[in-house]
Structure 1
């Protein structure tokens, strides 16, 4: 369970690290979202997914629930969940490597 709480904590930290850069500090605008995807998912994206694809996916699947063209934390979590499902094998592998002796 340490692994899960760490993952949750990391999600929150990552979101606010990028959302605070410009504009509304509680939302990711498109530029902040792009930076976050590029920097946080770089290795992973080159192999499995393309940033443009995720980007299009977010706005086409109506994950932008309030239609403001920005990503609030709730929308971000939904996006991460959708990506996690899409890339289950990758994440299962990562979790196996997550240190349990903390």
Structure 2
């Protein structure tokens, strides 16, 4: 039986490849594949942005080697940054809630 962390890692790999295999290099996300992944997996965060160029900005930020695609390592940077931001949000929310009580 896998640990929670191992299951999460397997999930990240599975999600990435379920979108990267659609066109071109099956080990990288093209811009349309990245957009589909963001819309399919992170729709609430994407909608909260209200910036119509958010996918372009994410693509530019993630594409470290500037090949026009996002590989798995670049994708993990996005997931890590979003996870840290969510954790900070919940810590701040918890502190504010405890102050109010």
Contact preservation (8 Å) 2:59, 2:70: no
| RMSD of equivalent CA atoms | 2.5
Distance in 2 (CA, whole Å) between partners of 1:22 and 1:36 is 13
Unaligned residue ranges in structure 2 (runs of 5+): 92-101
Task: After superposition, give the CA deviation of every residue in 1:61-97 in whole Å (9 maximum; x if it has no partner).
Answer: 3x312110100011111111111112225788xxxxx
Q: Which structure features the higher share of helix residues?
A: 2
- Which is greater in Rg? 2
Q: What is the match of residue 69 of structure 1?
A: 68
Q: Deviation of residue 3 (structure 1)?
A: 1.6
Quickly say closer, same or farther: Cα 1:35–1:57, change in 2 above 3 A.
closer
Q: What is the match of residue 94 of structure 2?
A: none
TM-score by length of 2: 0.72
Distance in 2 (CA, whole Å) between partners of 1:89 and 1:10 is 23
TM-score by length of 1: 0.72
Distance in 2 (CA, whole Å) between partners of 1:50 and 1:85 is 21
Quickly say closer, same or farther: Cα 1:50–1:91, change in 2 above 3 A.
farther
Q: How many residues align?
A: 89
Contact preservation (8 Å) 1:28, 1:71: yes
Q: What is the match of residue 5 of structure 2?
A: 4
Q: What is the match of residue 86 of structure 1?
A: 85
Contact preservation (8 Å) 1:84, 1:91: no
Contact preservation (8 Å) 1:58, 1:79: no
